[in-house]
Amino acid sequence: MTAKPTVLVTGASTGIGAAYAERFARRGHDLVLVARNVGRMEALADSLRGETGVAIDILPADLADPGERATVEARLREDGRIDILINNAGTTLPGNFIGQSTDDIERLVSLNTTAMVRLAHAIAPRLAQSGKGAIVNIGSVVGFAPEFGMAVYGATKAFALHLSQALNVQLGPQGIYVQAVLPATTRTEIWGHAGVDVDTMGAVMEVDDLVNAALAGFDRREAVTIPPLHDVAKWDAYETARQAMLPGISQSRPADRYLATA
């Protein structure tokens, strides 16, 4: 019997990451849990080991810190058992763009984008060589909805979506499945980072429902999974409209509307 691949989950101490860890453990996958909160990861690991019998390693790391992140990158490059990466770690900031400090913005961008792309880059060559594996990037519907006003956070989630779609184009033919998961409002601790009481918000999805839906999309090998979107035809129409522009954007001259009059 072929052993199931090990799954590395970032942001695994709570919320979406912890739920992913639980689901994959119940599917019989060994785990590597990555987060800053060692106590929470140890409690989760102890529980899952007892319930499922899988092997679980704990790798404490602040993925916004280059030195600590390098340890996780090395594990992804060198551990041939890890064939699935769940790029879940992320955060947000309270307030609007002008009120946010540049240092806080830099940390947000580092965690939400730099860590995501570096971890994907660490594992991708090995997966391509073996011709199998998966990378799951947790984005957000905010990534294609600037109207929500979450300027920097939304931009990082747009990055996650674009990265995932482009990697699917590049890596899919080499046997690597890349999935973007786009939650909407979900009951996680991230809202506390934003200074928002999630209990005052409407239409809040529970973490278990979100991850169950995301894994259904994973099993179907969806490129983009949007658990809260009931009418998938709207996303299909969005993608069709976007792709319809592509043949017209490689031009040697500006569009007529931009030509100066004599």
Distance CA 230, CA 261 (A): 48
pTM higher than the cut 0.75: yes
pLDDT digits (tens, 9 = 90+) for 9-37: 999 999 999 999 999 999 999 999 999 99
Residue with more model confidence, 262 or 78: 78
How many Å from the N-terminal Cα to the C-terminal Cα in the chain? 76
Residue keyed to tokens 């994907």: 120
Work out the average pLDDT over 57-62: 97
Average pLDDT, the chain: 93
Q: What is the dihedral of CA 132, 78, 20, 160, to 10 degrees?
A: -80
Q: What confidence tens digit (pLDDT) does each residue in 234-250 have?
A: 999 999 999 999 999 98
Residues with active-site annotation: 153
* Right CATH for 6-232 from 3.40.50.720, 3.40.50.12780, 3.40.1190.20, 3.30.43.10: 3.40.50.720
C-alpha closest to that of 63 among 120, 122, 7, 116 = 116
pLDDT of 190 > 70? The answer is no
Strand, helix or coil for residue 90: coil
pLDDT, tens digit, 9 for 90 and up, residues 41-56: 999 999 999 999 999 9
Domain locations along the chain: 6-232
